[in-house]
A and B are shown apart, each in its own frame.
Chain A
Amino acid sequence: MIQSPSLPWAGSGPTLQVCCVPHEAMKVTGQMLALEVDQLKKTYANGVEALKGVSLRVEEGDFFALLGPNGAGKSTLIGIISSLVNATSGEMRVFGTSVQRERSMAMSYLGLVPQEVNFNQFERPLEIVVNQAGYYGIPKKIATERAEKYLRQLQLWDKRDQPSRSLSGGMKRRLMIARAMVNEPRLLILDEPTAGVDIEIRRSMWEFIREINEKGTTVILTTHYLEEAEELCRNIAIIDHGEIVEDTNMKQLLGKLDIETFVLDLREEILQPPRLEGMDIHCRDENTIEVSLPRSKSLNALFAELDDQGFHVTSMRNKANRLEELFLRLVDKGASS
Protein backbone atom coordinates (compact mmCIF):
# COMPACT_ATOMS: atom_id res chain seq x y z
CA MET A 1 0.00 0.00 0.00
CA ILE A 2 1.10 3.55 -0.68
CA GLN A 3 1.64 5.32 2.62
CA SER A 4 -0.20 8.40 3.81
CA PRO A 5 1.37 11.74 3.05
CA SER A 6 2.15 14.39 5.61
CA LEU A 7 2.68 17.95 4.49
CA PRO A 8 4.73 20.11 6.84
CA TRP A 9 3.07 23.33 5.77
CA ALA A 10 -0.47 21.95 6.12
CA GLY A 11 -2.31 23.79 8.83
CA SER A 12 -0.05 26.80 8.74
CA GLY A 13 -1.82 28.44 5.79
CA PRO A 14 -5.38 29.71 5.47
CA THR A 15 -7.85 27.67 7.51
CA LEU A 16 -9.15 24.60 5.80
CA GLN A 17 -11.51 22.46 7.82
CA VAL A 18 -11.27 19.38 5.74
CA CYS A 19 -9.03 17.02 7.74
CA CYS A 20 -10.25 13.71 9.07
CA VAL A 21 -13.77 14.16 7.69
CA PRO A 22 -15.27 11.56 5.37
CA HIS A 23 -14.77 12.95 1.91
CA GLU A 24 -18.43 13.05 0.88
CA ALA A 25 -19.23 15.27 3.85
CA MET A 26 -16.30 17.60 3.28
CA LYS A 27 -16.96 21.21 2.40
CA VAL A 28 -14.46 23.52 0.79
CA THR A 29 -13.98 26.42 3.15
CA GLY A 30 -10.87 28.02 1.66
CA GLN A 31 -10.63 31.79 1.87
CA MET A 32 -9.33 32.28 -1.64
CA LEU A 33 -9.42 30.79 -5.08
CA ALA A 34 -6.69 28.34 -5.94
CA LEU A 35 -7.32 28.87 -9.64
CA GLU A 36 -9.18 31.52 -11.62
CA VAL A 37 -9.43 31.21 -15.37
CA ASP A 38 -11.10 34.02 -17.31
CA GLN A 39 -12.07 33.83 -20.96
CA LEU A 40 -9.10 31.68 -21.86
CA LYS A 41 -8.67 31.13 -25.58
CA LYS A 42 -6.12 29.05 -27.43
CA THR A 43 -5.76 28.73 -31.17
CA TYR A 44 -2.84 26.62 -32.32
CA ALA A 45 -0.65 27.58 -35.28
CA ASN A 46 -2.49 25.03 -37.46
CA GLY A 47 -5.75 26.90 -36.82
CA VAL A 48 -7.23 24.44 -34.34
CA GLU A 49 -9.26 26.33 -31.77
CA ALA A 50 -8.59 24.26 -28.64
CA LEU A 51 -10.16 26.62 -26.10
CA LYS A 52 -12.99 29.02 -26.94
CA GLY A 53 -13.16 31.34 -23.96
CA VAL A 54 -12.99 29.01 -20.96
CA SER A 55 -13.75 30.44 -17.51
CA LEU A 56 -13.32 28.40 -14.37
CA ARG A 57 -12.98 28.83 -10.60
CA VAL A 58 -11.42 26.29 -8.26
CA GLU A 59 -11.57 27.02 -4.55
CA GLU A 60 -8.64 26.46 -2.26
CA GLY A 61 -8.80 22.97 -0.74
CA ASP A 62 -11.09 21.61 -3.44
CA PHE A 63 -10.77 18.25 -5.14
CA PHE A 64 -11.81 19.22 -8.61
CA ALA A 65 -12.45 17.00 -11.62
CA LEU A 66 -11.86 18.29 -15.12
CA LEU A 67 -13.44 15.86 -17.52
CA GLY A 68 -13.95 15.73 -21.23
CA PRO A 69 -13.55 13.44 -24.22
CA ASN A 70 -10.24 13.14 -26.07
CA GLY A 71 -9.41 16.37 -27.86
CA ALA A 72 -11.86 18.42 -25.77
CA GLY A 73 -9.18 20.85 -24.57
CA LYS A 74 -8.31 19.44 -21.11
CA SER A 75 -4.61 19.02 -21.74
CA THR A 76 -4.41 22.42 -23.43
CA LEU A 77 -6.03 24.02 -20.39
CA ILE A 78 -3.64 22.19 -18.04
CA GLY A 79 -0.74 23.11 -20.32
CA ILE A 80 -1.65 26.79 -20.08
CA ILE A 81 -2.10 26.65 -16.29
CA SER A 82 1.34 25.06 -15.93
CA SER A 83 2.85 27.46 -18.52
CA LEU A 84 3.75 24.73 -21.00
CA VAL A 85 1.34 26.21 -23.52
CA ASN A 86 0.98 29.91 -24.34
CA ALA A 87 -2.59 31.22 -24.23
CA THR A 88 -3.87 33.19 -27.21
CA SER A 89 -5.88 35.44 -24.87
CA GLY A 90 -7.46 35.45 -21.46
CA GLU A 91 -6.34 35.73 -17.86
CA MET A 92 -5.30 33.14 -15.33
CA ARG A 93 -4.37 33.36 -11.69
CA VAL A 94 -3.04 30.75 -9.29
CA PHE A 95 -3.74 31.77 -5.68
CA GLY A 96 -4.33 35.30 -6.92
CA THR A 97 -1.02 35.47 -8.81
CA SER A 98 -1.17 36.05 -12.55
CA VAL A 99 0.45 33.24 -14.51
CA GLN A 100 1.13 35.65 -17.37
CA ARG A 101 2.59 38.54 -15.37
CA GLU A 102 4.20 36.80 -12.36
CA ARG A 103 4.99 33.43 -13.83
CA SER A 104 7.73 32.46 -11.37
CA MET A 105 5.61 33.16 -8.33
CA ALA A 106 2.53 31.45 -9.78
CA MET A 107 4.55 28.38 -10.72
CA SER A 108 5.99 28.08 -7.22
CA TYR A 109 2.47 27.15 -6.00
CA LEU A 110 2.05 24.41 -8.56
CA GLY A 111 2.83 20.72 -8.91
CA LEU A 112 2.10 18.93 -12.17
CA VAL A 113 1.74 15.24 -12.94
CA PRO A 114 1.53 15.14 -16.73
CA GLN A 115 -0.23 12.59 -18.86
CA GLU A 116 2.94 11.35 -20.59
CA VAL A 117 6.14 10.26 -18.90
CA ASN A 118 8.42 13.30 -19.08
CA PHE A 119 11.43 12.61 -16.92
CA ASN A 120 14.91 11.76 -18.15
CA GLN A 121 14.81 7.99 -18.32
CA PHE A 122 18.59 7.78 -17.99
CA GLU A 123 18.43 9.34 -14.54
CA ARG A 124 17.63 7.56 -11.29
CA PRO A 125 14.39 8.21 -9.39
CA LEU A 126 16.15 9.86 -6.44
CA GLU A 127 18.12 12.11 -8.78
CA ILE A 128 14.95 13.10 -10.66
CA VAL A 129 13.05 14.09 -7.52
CA VAL A 130 15.99 15.91 -5.89
CA ASN A 131 16.72 17.85 -9.08
CA GLN A 132 13.09 18.91 -9.39
CA ALA A 133 13.24 20.26 -5.84
CA GLY A 134 16.34 22.22 -6.82
CA TYR A 135 14.44 23.93 -9.65
CA TYR A 136 12.03 25.19 -6.97
CA GLY A 137 14.93 26.61 -4.96
CA ILE A 138 14.88 23.89 -2.30
CA PRO A 139 18.40 23.26 -0.93
CA LYS A 140 19.82 19.79 -1.56
CA LYS A 141 19.67 18.60 2.05
CA ILE A 142 15.97 19.36 2.40
CA ALA A 143 15.34 18.14 -1.15
CA THR A 144 16.93 14.78 -0.34
CA GLU A 145 14.85 14.42 2.85
CA ARG A 146 11.66 15.23 0.98
CA ALA A 147 12.56 12.94 -1.90
CA GLU A 148 13.05 10.10 0.56
CA LYS A 149 9.72 10.86 2.23
CA TYR A 150 7.71 10.86 -0.98
CA LEU A 151 9.57 7.98 -2.61
CA ARG A 152 8.92 5.92 0.52
CA GLN A 153 5.25 6.90 0.61
CA LEU A 154 4.87 5.96 -3.02
CA GLN A 155 6.74 2.67 -2.54
CA LEU A 156 9.66 3.65 -4.73
CA TRP A 157 12.44 4.03 -2.18
CA ASP A 158 13.85 0.57 -3.00
CA LYS A 159 14.07 1.63 -6.63
CA ARG A 160 15.71 4.98 -5.96
CA ASP A 161 19.05 4.05 -7.56
CA GLN A 162 17.74 2.04 -10.49
CA PRO A 163 17.69 3.61 -13.95
CA SER A 164 14.19 5.05 -14.20
CA ARG A 165 13.70 3.51 -17.64
CA SER A 166 13.64 0.11 -15.93
CA LEU A 167 10.59 1.02 -13.81
CA SER A 168 7.16 -0.38 -14.67
CA GLY A 169 4.43 1.90 -16.06
CA GLY A 170 2.76 2.22 -12.65
CA MET A 171 6.07 3.02 -10.96
CA LYS A 172 6.81 5.72 -13.53
CA ARG A 173 3.44 7.34 -12.78
CA ARG A 174 4.13 7.20 -9.04
CA LEU A 175 7.56 8.69 -9.63
CA MET A 176 5.92 11.63 -11.40
CA ILE A 177 3.63 12.10 -8.38
CA ALA A 178 6.64 12.08 -6.03
CA ARG A 179 8.37 14.59 -8.28
CA ALA A 180 5.30 16.85 -8.33
CA MET A 181 5.00 16.66 -4.53
CA VAL A 182 8.61 17.49 -3.71
CA ASN A 183 7.98 21.24 -3.70
CA GLU A 184 4.87 20.58 -1.57
CA PRO A 185 2.60 22.50 -3.92
CA ARG A 186 -0.56 24.27 -2.85
CA LEU A 187 -2.18 23.25 -6.13
CA LEU A 188 -1.55 19.78 -7.53
CA ILE A 189 -2.67 19.07 -11.09
CA LEU A 190 -2.96 15.42 -12.10
CA ASP A 191 -3.49 14.74 -15.77
CA GLU A 192 -4.74 11.16 -15.98
CA PRO A 193 -2.43 9.92 -13.22
CA THR A 194 -3.82 6.39 -13.11
CA ALA A 195 -4.00 5.66 -16.84
CA GLY A 196 -2.78 2.13 -17.47
CA VAL A 197 -2.26 1.41 -13.78
CA ASP A 198 -3.61 -1.81 -12.26
CA ILE A 199 -6.59 -1.55 -9.92
CA GLU A 200 -4.66 -2.20 -6.70
CA ILE A 201 -2.08 0.51 -7.38
CA ARG A 202 -4.82 2.81 -8.64
CA ARG A 203 -6.72 2.55 -5.37
CA SER A 204 -3.53 3.13 -3.39
CA MET A 205 -2.89 6.23 -5.48
CA TRP A 206 -6.45 7.42 -4.80
CA GLU A 207 -5.83 7.11 -1.08
CA PHE A 208 -2.54 8.96 -1.33
CA ILE A 209 -4.02 11.82 -3.35
CA ARG A 210 -7.12 12.00 -1.16
CA GLU A 211 -5.00 12.38 1.95
CA ILE A 212 -2.86 15.04 0.30
CA ASN A 213 -6.09 16.90 -0.38
CA GLU A 214 -7.34 16.37 3.17
CA LYS A 215 -4.13 17.96 4.43
CA GLY A 216 -4.83 21.11 2.46
CA THR A 217 -3.53 20.74 -1.08
CA THR A 218 -5.99 21.73 -3.77
CA VAL A 219 -6.20 18.98 -6.38
CA ILE A 220 -7.33 19.20 -10.00
CA LEU A 221 -7.74 15.81 -11.63
CA THR A 222 -8.41 14.80 -15.19
CA THR A 223 -9.23 11.19 -15.82
CA HIS A 224 -11.00 8.88 -18.18
CA TYR A 225 -12.01 6.63 -15.28
CA LEU A 226 -15.22 8.34 -14.34
CA GLU A 227 -15.69 6.26 -11.23
CA GLU A 228 -12.38 7.76 -10.11
CA ALA A 229 -13.75 11.29 -10.46
CA GLU A 230 -17.01 10.30 -8.75
CA GLU A 231 -15.11 8.64 -5.92
CA LEU A 232 -12.63 11.44 -5.29
CA CYS A 233 -13.89 14.80 -6.47
CA ARG A 234 -16.29 17.28 -4.90
CA ASN A 235 -16.62 19.68 -7.81
CA ILE A 236 -16.52 19.02 -11.49
CA ALA A 237 -16.24 20.77 -14.83
CA ILE A 238 -16.87 19.06 -18.12
CA ILE A 239 -15.17 20.49 -21.17
CA ASP A 240 -16.12 19.64 -24.72
CA HIS A 241 -15.00 21.19 -28.00
CA GLY A 242 -13.04 23.82 -26.07
CA GLU A 243 -16.00 24.99 -23.99
CA ILE A 244 -17.14 24.28 -20.45
CA VAL A 245 -20.47 22.48 -20.78
CA GLU A 246 -20.94 21.83 -17.06
CA ASP A 247 -19.39 23.35 -13.94
CA THR A 248 -21.01 22.29 -10.70
CA ASN A 249 -20.54 20.10 -7.65
CA MET A 250 -20.63 16.35 -7.94
CA LYS A 251 -23.81 15.84 -5.92
CA GLN A 252 -25.77 18.38 -7.95
CA LEU A 253 -24.51 16.90 -11.17
CA LEU A 254 -25.41 13.36 -10.18
CA GLY A 255 -28.79 14.71 -9.08
CA LYS A 256 -29.45 15.63 -12.70
CA LEU A 257 -29.43 11.98 -13.66
CA ASP A 258 -33.15 11.40 -14.29
CA ILE A 259 -32.84 7.81 -15.46
CA GLU A 260 -30.47 5.13 -14.22
CA THR A 261 -29.98 1.81 -15.97
CA PHE A 262 -29.57 -1.35 -13.89
CA VAL A 263 -28.66 -4.86 -14.92
CA LEU A 264 -30.65 -7.51 -13.01
CA ASP A 265 -29.85 -11.23 -12.90
CA LEU A 266 -32.96 -13.41 -12.51
CA ARG A 267 -33.24 -16.82 -10.92
CA GLU A 268 -35.50 -18.28 -13.65
CA GLU A 269 -35.01 -18.19 -17.38
CA ILE A 270 -37.43 -15.89 -19.20
CA LEU A 271 -38.66 -15.66 -22.78
CA GLN A 272 -40.23 -12.19 -22.59
CA PRO A 273 -39.06 -9.24 -20.50
CA PRO A 274 -41.47 -8.12 -17.77
CA ARG A 275 -43.75 -5.20 -18.63
CA LEU A 276 -43.68 -2.50 -15.96
CA GLU A 277 -45.33 0.89 -16.29
CA GLY A 278 -42.95 3.81 -16.83
CA MET A 279 -39.87 1.61 -17.16
CA ASP A 280 -38.00 0.51 -20.23
CA ILE A 281 -36.98 -3.14 -19.85
CA HIS A 282 -35.30 -5.48 -22.27
CA CYS A 283 -33.58 -8.86 -22.14
CA ARG A 284 -29.80 -9.23 -22.33
CA ASP A 285 -30.07 -12.99 -22.26
CA GLU A 286 -32.50 -15.57 -20.84
CA ASN A 287 -31.48 -14.77 -17.22
CA THR A 288 -30.59 -11.08 -17.42
CA ILE A 289 -32.63 -7.93 -17.97
CA GLU A 290 -31.74 -4.25 -18.29
CA VAL A 291 -34.09 -1.81 -16.56
CA SER A 292 -34.06 1.95 -17.18
CA LEU A 293 -35.46 3.33 -13.95
CA PRO A 294 -36.70 6.93 -13.79
CA ARG A 295 -35.79 8.89 -10.63
CA SER A 296 -39.49 9.14 -9.83
CA LYS A 297 -39.55 5.37 -9.19
CA SER A 298 -37.78 3.73 -6.28
CA LEU A 299 -35.86 0.47 -6.37
CA ASN A 300 -38.31 -0.89 -3.77
CA ALA A 301 -41.18 -0.31 -6.18
CA LEU A 302 -39.24 -2.03 -8.97
CA PHE A 303 -38.54 -5.10 -6.85
CA ALA A 304 -42.12 -5.23 -5.58
CA GLU A 305 -43.56 -5.13 -9.10
CA LEU A 306 -41.11 -7.76 -10.36
CA ASP A 307 -41.96 -9.95 -7.39
CA ASP A 308 -45.69 -9.56 -8.13
CA GLN A 309 -45.07 -10.82 -11.67
CA GLY A 310 -43.07 -13.82 -10.41
CA PHE A 311 -39.58 -12.61 -11.30
CA HIS A 312 -36.93 -13.26 -8.64
CA VAL A 313 -33.83 -11.06 -8.72
CA THR A 314 -30.61 -12.73 -7.58
CA SER A 315 -28.21 -9.82 -8.14
CA MET A 316 -28.12 -6.28 -9.46
CA ARG A 317 -25.54 -3.76 -10.71
CA ASN A 318 -25.40 -0.43 -12.48
CA LYS A 319 -25.07 -0.78 -16.21
CA ALA A 320 -22.64 2.15 -16.21
CA ASN A 321 -21.15 4.44 -13.64
CA ARG A 322 -23.65 7.23 -12.88
CA LEU A 323 -21.19 9.93 -13.82
CA GLU A 324 -20.42 8.08 -17.02
CA GLU A 325 -24.09 8.17 -18.04
CA LEU A 326 -24.30 11.89 -17.38
CA PHE A 327 -20.99 12.57 -19.03
CA LEU A 328 -22.06 10.79 -22.20
CA ARG A 329 -25.34 12.69 -22.28
CA LEU A 330 -23.65 16.06 -21.78
CA VAL A 331 -20.99 15.35 -24.35
CA ASP A 332 -23.51 13.93 -26.83
CA LYS A 333 -25.67 17.02 -26.35
CA GLY A 334 -22.63 19.18 -27.05
CA ALA A 335 -21.85 17.21 -30.19
CA SER A 336 -25.40 17.37 -31.56
CA SER A 337 -26.00 21.07 -30.84
Chain B
Amino acid sequence: MSQPNSWVGYRTIVRKEVTRIVRIWGQTVVPPAITMTLYFIIFGNLIGRRIGEMGGFDYMQFIVPGLVMMSVITNSYGNMVSSFFGAKFGHHIEELLVSPLPSSIILAGYVTGALVRGLMVGAVVILVSLFFTRLEVQHPLIMVSVLLLTSVVFAMAGMVNAIFAQKFDDIAIIPTFVLTPLTYLGGVFYSISLLPEFWQKVSAFNPILYMVNGFRYGILGVSDVNIVRAYAIMLVFAVLLFITCMTLLRRGTGLRS
Protein backbone atom coordinates (compact mmCIF):
# COMPACT_ATOMS: atom_id res chain seq x y z
CA MET B 1 0.00 0.00 0.00
CA SER B 2 1.38 3.41 -0.94
CA GLN B 3 1.39 6.51 1.24
CA PRO B 4 -2.12 8.04 1.43
CA ASN B 5 -2.81 11.13 -0.67
CA SER B 6 -2.38 14.05 1.74
CA TRP B 7 -3.77 16.56 -0.75
CA VAL B 8 -7.17 14.85 -0.57
CA GLY B 9 -6.92 14.98 3.23
CA TYR B 10 -6.12 18.69 3.13
CA ARG B 11 -9.08 19.40 0.84
CA THR B 12 -11.34 17.37 3.12
CA ILE B 13 -10.42 19.41 6.19
CA VAL B 14 -10.88 22.67 4.27
CA ARG B 15 -14.24 21.54 2.88
CA LYS B 16 -15.36 20.51 6.35
CA GLU B 17 -14.27 23.84 7.84
CA VAL B 18 -15.89 25.93 5.10
CA THR B 19 -19.10 23.90 5.40
CA ARG B 20 -19.09 24.65 9.11
CA ILE B 21 -18.54 28.39 8.55
CA VAL B 22 -21.36 28.53 6.03
CA ARG B 23 -23.70 26.35 8.11
CA ILE B 24 -23.40 28.66 11.10
CA TRP B 25 -23.30 31.89 9.05
CA GLY B 26 -25.44 33.59 11.66
CA GLN B 27 -22.56 33.20 14.12
CA THR B 28 -19.65 33.62 11.73
CA VAL B 29 -20.40 36.34 9.17
CA VAL B 30 -23.38 38.32 10.39
CA PRO B 31 -22.13 39.47 13.84
CA PRO B 32 -18.95 41.15 12.53
CA ALA B 33 -20.98 42.87 9.82
CA ILE B 34 -23.37 44.29 12.43
CA THR B 35 -20.60 45.25 14.87
CA MET B 36 -18.58 46.98 12.19
CA THR B 37 -21.63 48.82 10.88
CA LEU B 38 -22.11 50.19 14.40
CA TYR B 39 -18.43 51.19 14.57
CA PHE B 40 -18.75 53.01 11.25
CA ILE B 41 -21.92 54.79 12.34
CA ILE B 42 -20.78 55.75 15.83
CA PHE B 43 -17.01 56.22 15.59
CA GLY B 44 -16.68 56.97 11.90
CA ASN B 45 -19.75 59.06 11.24
CA LEU B 46 -21.04 60.61 14.47
CA ILE B 47 -17.81 61.06 16.46
CA GLY B 48 -15.50 61.04 13.41
CA ARG B 49 -17.08 64.20 11.98
CA ARG B 50 -16.01 66.09 15.11
CA ILE B 51 -12.50 64.62 15.03
CA GLY B 52 -11.77 65.77 11.50
CA GLU B 53 -8.64 64.48 9.77
CA MET B 54 -6.16 61.89 10.94
CA GLY B 55 -2.99 60.98 9.06
CA GLY B 56 -4.13 63.17 6.20
CA PHE B 57 -7.47 61.34 5.72
CA ASP B 58 -10.92 61.92 7.10
CA TYR B 59 -11.47 59.86 10.22
CA MET B 60 -13.86 57.41 8.60
CA GLN B 61 -11.30 56.51 5.92
CA PHE B 62 -8.56 56.28 8.53
CA ILE B 63 -10.34 53.69 10.67
CA VAL B 64 -11.51 51.43 7.83
CA PRO B 65 -8.20 49.47 7.52
CA GLY B 66 -7.99 49.09 11.31
CA LEU B 67 -11.54 47.81 11.58
CA VAL B 68 -11.00 45.36 8.73
CA MET B 69 -7.87 44.05 10.46
CA MET B 70 -9.66 43.88 13.79
CA SER B 71 -12.32 41.66 12.17
CA VAL B 72 -9.76 39.52 10.40
CA ILE B 73 -7.71 38.99 13.57
CA THR B 74 -10.74 38.21 15.75
CA ASN B 75 -12.35 35.88 13.23
CA SER B 76 -9.23 33.99 12.16
CA TYR B 77 -8.32 33.39 15.78
CA GLY B 78 -11.91 32.67 16.81
CA ASN B 79 -12.53 30.24 13.97
CA MET B 80 -9.45 28.19 14.75
CA VAL B 81 -9.87 28.16 18.50
CA SER B 82 -13.57 27.30 18.46
CA SER B 83 -13.36 24.72 15.69
CA PHE B 84 -10.22 22.95 16.92
CA PHE B 85 -11.13 23.07 20.59
CA GLY B 86 -14.68 21.99 19.71
CA ALA B 87 -13.24 18.97 17.89
CA LYS B 88 -11.01 18.23 20.85
CA PHE B 89 -13.80 18.68 23.39
CA GLY B 90 -16.21 16.52 21.37
CA HIS B 91 -13.43 13.96 20.74
CA HIS B 92 -13.96 14.05 16.97
CA ILE B 93 -10.39 15.33 16.62
CA GLU B 94 -9.66 11.60 17.06
CA GLU B 95 -10.95 11.09 13.51
CA LEU B 96 -7.89 13.01 12.36
CA LEU B 97 -5.47 11.66 14.95
CA VAL B 98 -6.06 8.02 13.97
CA SER B 99 -5.81 8.84 10.28
CA PRO B 100 -2.55 8.75 8.32
CA LEU B 101 -2.60 12.53 7.83
CA PRO B 102 0.66 14.20 8.85
CA SER B 103 0.53 17.04 11.38
CA SER B 104 1.52 19.57 8.71
CA ILE B 105 -1.63 18.80 6.70
CA ILE B 106 -3.86 19.01 9.75
CA LEU B 107 -2.34 22.41 10.53
CA ALA B 108 -2.59 23.58 6.91
CA GLY B 109 -6.24 22.47 6.66
CA TYR B 110 -7.35 24.24 9.81
CA VAL B 111 -5.32 27.38 9.01
CA THR B 112 -6.93 27.53 5.57
CA GLY B 113 -10.35 27.25 7.20
CA ALA B 114 -9.52 30.15 9.52
CA LEU B 115 -8.12 32.09 6.57
CA VAL B 116 -11.35 31.60 4.63
CA ARG B 117 -13.39 32.96 7.51
CA GLY B 118 -10.98 35.83 8.08
CA LEU B 119 -11.11 36.81 4.41
CA MET B 120 -14.90 36.39 4.18
CA VAL B 121 -15.42 38.67 7.16
CA GLY B 122 -12.76 41.11 5.93
CA ALA B 123 -14.56 41.31 2.57
CA VAL B 124 -17.91 41.89 4.30
CA VAL B 125 -16.43 44.70 6.43
CA ILE B 126 -14.87 46.36 3.36
CA LEU B 127 -18.23 46.14 1.59
CA VAL B 128 -20.00 47.68 4.58
CA SER B 129 -17.38 50.45 4.75
CA LEU B 130 -18.15 51.40 1.14
CA PHE B 131 -21.60 52.54 2.28
CA PHE B 132 -19.90 55.12 4.50
CA THR B 133 -16.76 56.19 2.66
CA ARG B 134 -14.70 55.84 -0.50
CA LEU B 135 -11.52 53.72 -0.66
CA GLU B 136 -8.78 53.84 -3.25
CA VAL B 137 -6.31 51.03 -2.72
CA GLN B 138 -2.78 52.35 -3.05
CA HIS B 139 -0.78 49.12 -2.85
CA PRO B 140 -3.00 46.09 -3.59
CA LEU B 141 -0.23 43.51 -3.19
CA ILE B 142 0.75 44.85 0.21
CA MET B 143 -2.89 45.00 1.24
CA VAL B 144 -3.54 41.37 0.27
CA SER B 145 -0.25 40.00 1.60
CA VAL B 146 -0.63 41.73 4.99
CA LEU B 147 -4.20 40.45 5.21
CA LEU B 148 -3.14 36.87 4.48
CA LEU B 149 -0.11 36.97 6.80
CA THR B 150 -2.13 38.42 9.67
CA SER B 151 -4.87 35.85 9.23
CA VAL B 152 -2.37 32.98 9.16
CA VAL B 153 -0.52 34.28 12.23
CA PHE B 154 -3.70 34.54 14.29
CA ALA B 155 -5.04 31.24 13.03
CA MET B 156 -1.89 29.53 14.31
CA ALA B 157 -2.06 31.47 17.57
CA GLY B 158 -5.62 30.18 17.90
CA MET B 159 -4.42 26.63 17.43
CA VAL B 160 -1.87 26.98 20.25
CA ASN B 161 -4.66 28.29 22.48
CA ALA B 162 -6.98 25.42 21.47
CA ILE B 163 -4.29 22.80 22.06
CA PHE B 164 -3.65 23.95 25.62
CA ALA B 165 -7.29 24.72 26.47
CA GLN B 166 -9.00 22.27 28.80
CA LYS B 167 -12.38 23.96 29.06
CA PHE B 168 -14.39 26.57 27.18
CA ASP B 169 -13.29 29.30 29.62
CA ASP B 170 -9.72 28.75 28.45
CA ILE B 171 -10.57 29.74 24.88
CA ALA B 172 -12.25 32.96 26.02
CA ILE B 173 -9.40 34.25 28.22
CA ILE B 174 -6.87 35.10 25.48
CA PRO B 175 -9.33 36.91 23.17
CA THR B 176 -10.78 38.89 26.07
CA PHE B 177 -7.69 39.77 28.04
CA VAL B 178 -4.96 39.78 25.39
CA LEU B 179 -6.31 40.14 21.85
CA THR B 180 -8.93 42.82 22.43
CA PRO B 181 -6.66 45.21 24.40
CA LEU B 182 -3.77 44.72 21.94
CA THR B 183 -6.09 45.35 18.99
CA TYR B 184 -7.62 48.52 20.49
CA LEU B 185 -4.13 49.74 21.40
CA GLY B 186 -2.73 48.72 18.01
CA GLY B 187 -3.63 51.92 16.20
CA VAL B 188 -7.04 50.88 14.93
CA PHE B 189 -8.69 54.13 15.97
CA TYR B 190 -5.73 56.50 16.16
CA SER B 191 -2.28 57.24 14.86
CA ILE B 192 0.37 56.49 17.49
CA SER B 193 1.96 59.84 16.59
CA LEU B 194 -0.75 61.31 18.83
CA LEU B 195 0.67 59.48 21.85
CA PRO B 196 3.41 60.80 24.16
CA GLU B 197 6.86 59.47 23.25
CA PHE B 198 6.90 56.94 26.10
CA TRP B 199 3.64 55.36 24.98
CA GLN B 200 4.80 55.38 21.36
CA LYS B 201 7.77 53.26 22.49
CA VAL B 202 5.48 50.95 24.46
CA SER B 203 3.20 50.61 21.43
CA ALA B 204 6.17 49.47 19.36
CA PHE B 205 6.08 46.17 21.31
CA ASN B 206 2.53 45.50 20.15
CA PRO B 207 2.67 43.22 17.08
CA ILE B 208 -0.87 44.18 16.05
CA LEU B 209 0.32 47.75 15.49
CA TYR B 210 2.49 46.52 12.61
CA MET B 211 -0.33 44.52 11.06
CA VAL B 212 -2.86 47.35 11.24
CA ASN B 213 -0.38 49.86 9.86
CA GLY B 214 0.84 47.49 7.18
CA PHE B 215 -2.72 47.07 5.99
CA ARG B 216 -3.40 50.79 6.25
CA TYR B 217 -0.32 51.41 4.13
CA GLY B 218 -1.68 48.98 1.54
CA ILE B 219 -5.01 50.83 1.34
CA LEU B 220 -4.25 54.45 2.16
CA GLY B 221 -0.50 54.58 1.56
CA VAL B 222 0.25 55.91 5.09
CA SER B 223 1.72 54.11 8.08
CA ASP B 224 3.03 54.88 11.56
CA VAL B 225 5.67 52.16 11.20
CA ASN B 226 8.29 51.12 8.70
CA ILE B 227 6.61 48.71 6.27
CA VAL B 228 9.68 46.46 5.97
CA ARG B 229 9.83 46.12 9.72
CA ALA B 230 6.10 45.32 9.71
CA TYR B 231 6.66 42.44 7.27
CA ALA B 232 9.68 41.21 9.23
CA ILE B 233 7.70 41.11 12.46
CA MET B 234 4.75 39.31 10.85
CA LEU B 235 7.08 36.75 9.26
CA VAL B 236 8.93 36.14 12.51
CA PHE B 237 5.62 35.53 14.30
CA ALA B 238 4.43 33.29 11.48
CA VAL B 239 7.59 31.15 11.61
CA LEU B 240 7.64 30.93 15.41
CA LEU B 241 3.99 29.98 15.58
CA PHE B 242 4.39 27.44 12.79
CA ILE B 243 7.25 25.75 14.66
CA THR B 244 5.24 25.84 17.90
CA CYS B 245 2.13 24.35 16.28
CA MET B 246 4.07 21.61 14.52
CA THR B 247 5.97 20.68 17.68
CA LEU B 248 2.76 20.53 19.72
CA LEU B 249 0.89 18.52 17.08
CA ARG B 250 3.74 16.06 16.60
CA ARG B 251 4.14 15.54 20.33
CA GLY B 252 0.38 15.29 20.69
CA THR B 253 0.40 17.84 23.50
CA GLY B 254 -3.14 18.26 24.79
CA LEU B 255 -4.39 15.80 22.17
CA ARG B 256 -2.82 12.41 22.82
CA SER B 257 -2.59 11.12 26.41
List A residues at the B interface (Cβ < 8 Å): 44, 76, 79, 82-86, 103-105, 107-110, 112, 114, 116-121, 127, 131-132, 134-140, 179
The 10 sampled A-B contact pairs (Cβ below 8 Å) are: A79-B257, A83-B97, A85-B257, A86-B252, A104-B102, A107-B98, A108-B100, A116-B91, A135-B9, A139-B5
A131 touches B16 (CB 8 A): yes
- A118 and B94 in contact (CB under 8 A), knowing A136-B100, A137-B6? yes
Pick the contact of B90: A105, A120, A127, A140 (CB < 8 A): A120
What is the bound-complex CA distance between A105 and B251, given in angstroms?
18
B4 touches A104 (CB 8 A): yes
Against A, the Cβ 8 Å flags (1 = close, 0 = not) of B206-218 are 0000000000000
- A84 and B6 in contact (CB under 8 A), knowing A108-B100, A134-B12? no
A84 touches B3 (CB 8 A): no
- A137 and B4 in contact (CB under 8 A), knowing A84-B256, A84-B257, A104-B102? yes
* In the complex, chain A residues whose CB is within 8 Å of the CB of B5: 137-139
Of A84, A117, A140, chain B has the most CB atoms within 10 Å of the CB of: A84
Within 8 A of A (CB), among B86-137: 87, 90-92, 94-102
Chain A min CB distance to B72 (Å): 26
B100 touches A105 (CB 8 A): yes
Pick the contact of A108: B4, B11, B90, B252 (CB < 8 A): B4
Is B46 on the interface with A (CB-CB < 8 A)? no
Other A-B contacts than A83-B256, A84-B257, A137-B8, 17 sampled, CB-CB below 8 A, are A84-B94, A85-B257, A86-B252, A105-B3, A105-B100, A110-B98, A114-B94, A117-B91, A132-B99, A134-B8, A134-B12, A134-B13, A135-B96, A135-B100, A136-B4, A136-B99, A137-B9
What is the bound-complex CA distance between A135 and B12, given in angstroms?
7
Of A83, A86, A112, A137, chain B has the most CB atoms within 10 Å of the CB of: A137
Is B1 on the interface with A (CB-CB < 8 A)? yes
* In the complex, chain B residues whose CB is within 8 Å of the CB of A44: 257
* In the complex, chain B residues whose CB is within 8 Å of the CB of A110: 98
B1 touches A83 (CB 8 A): no
In the complex, the chain A residue whose C-beta lies closest to that of B4 is: A137
In the complex, the chain B residue whose C-beta lies closest to that of A135 is: B99
In the complex, the chain B residue whose C-beta lies closest to that of A180 is: B98
B8 touches A139 (CB 8 A): yes
The 10 A-B residue pairs with the shortest CB-CB distance in the complex, in nearest-first order: A134-B12, A137-B4, A137-B5, A135-B99, A118-B91, A104-B100, A108-B100, A107-B100, A120-B92, A85-B257
A132 touches B100 (CB 8 A): no
In the complex, the chain B residue whose C-beta lies closest to that of A79 is: B257
